[in-house]
Amino acid sequence: MALGYGSGDAAEALPLRVVAGWQEAARRINFESALVGAIDLNEAQYIDVHEGRRIENIAPPARDEFVIDHVGTSNGPDFFDEGVEYYRYVVGSAE
């Protein structure tokens, strides 16, 4: 079982099964390179990000990657997306 804890009211639990050859598959994913350039946020920056406020000088502009476009706010009987992050892909140039 893999469990990813989020800061909001949701977490993800994925049933997984380890199989022969997993190490080679993991190497092909190149997970370490995905973390290059990661930025640690302090508590105030973290809160600002989740409140949808732009934080200056923490990262270069997005290029050829997914960014959070907006966070859902609906909380009704027919549709609920409060806290759900919606993504968009930024192509080539800064957003």
What would the mean pLDDT of 62-77 be, rounded to a whole number? 87
3-17, 60-74, 81-95: range with lowest mean pLDDT: 3-17
DSSP-assigned letters across all residues of 8-64: SS-EEEE-----TTHHHHHHHHTHHHHTTT-----HHHHHHHHTT---TTSSPPP-S
Residue 94 pLDDT > 50: no
pLDDT, tens digit, 9 for 90 and up, residues 1-57: 666 666 556 667 778 888 999 888 888 888 778 777 777 778 888 888 878 888 877
pTM of the model: 0.36
Helix, strand, or coil (residue 10): coil
